[in-house]
Chains A and B, each alone.
Chain A
Amino acid sequence: KQEVTQIPAALSVPEGENLVLNCSFTDSAIYNLQWFRQDPGKGLTSLLLIQSSQREQTSGRLNASLDKSSGRSTLYIAASQPGDSATYLCAVRGDNYGQNFVFGPGTRLSVLP
């Protein structure tokens, strides 16, 4: 059974810092991995989707990498802003038909002005 973990559980940084969020998964037979952000009490906003054949994806200040063989993904946020404060979740889709997303517990990020 796929298990997804995220480190750290919470992170507080001053505005302007670059930071890295980590996601690990136990079963490397994945189809893709998706990063989301969630503001308190709100739905999830898709940030980046990485297919299993890809090594990284970039969108603006965000860069996500995937090392499938080691079961790891990282989300790099450049020049952090207070508006980046949210919970960041990674979700892994298994490589078998019908395997759907298993979410990590999330990293709660606070960017201080």
Chain B
Amino acid sequence: DTEVTQTPKHLVMGMTNKKSLKCEQHMGHRAMYWYKQKAKKPPELMFVYSYEKLSINESVPSRFSPECPNSSLLNLHLHALQPEDSALYLCASSQDILRDRENEQFFGPGTRLTVL
């Protein structure tokens, strides 16, 4: 099973709402990632978790709050977002991020977020 699942598929929220995006994988991977992708642009890395610990935060605004409750789940909590945060949010996982692993990344289908 090389599947990464994401819910919901689509999300529309107002600027005062609080919502969460969810990501799940059952491949035994210990590294999980959040990316943001704007239309006709490549994905941009937001966060990396390694062994359930935040490893990389690419200077993402605090209105995005990641959480890794266990090795299979990754959440992205959203609060007080701006219309410019509308994008496709992609989750990915890989076996590890250490040098002696292949680190092939597997992506989920994404959540299409619209902020009104």
Contacts and interface: CB of A to CB of B under 8 A. Distances in A.
A, B: real partners? yes
Interface of A: 31-32, 34, 36, 41-46, 49, 51, 89, 91, 93, 97-98, 100-101, 103-106
B11 interface: no
Interface of B: 4, 6, 33, 41-45, 48, 55-56, 88, 90, 92, 97-99, 102-110, 112
B109 A31 contact: no
Given A41-B88, A41-B112, A106-B42, A46 B107 contact: yes
A45 B45 CA distance: 17
B101 to A, nearest CB: 10
Contact of A34 (B6, B42, B55, B105): B105
A44 B107 contact: yes
A32 B75 CA distance: 27
B45 A100 contact: yes
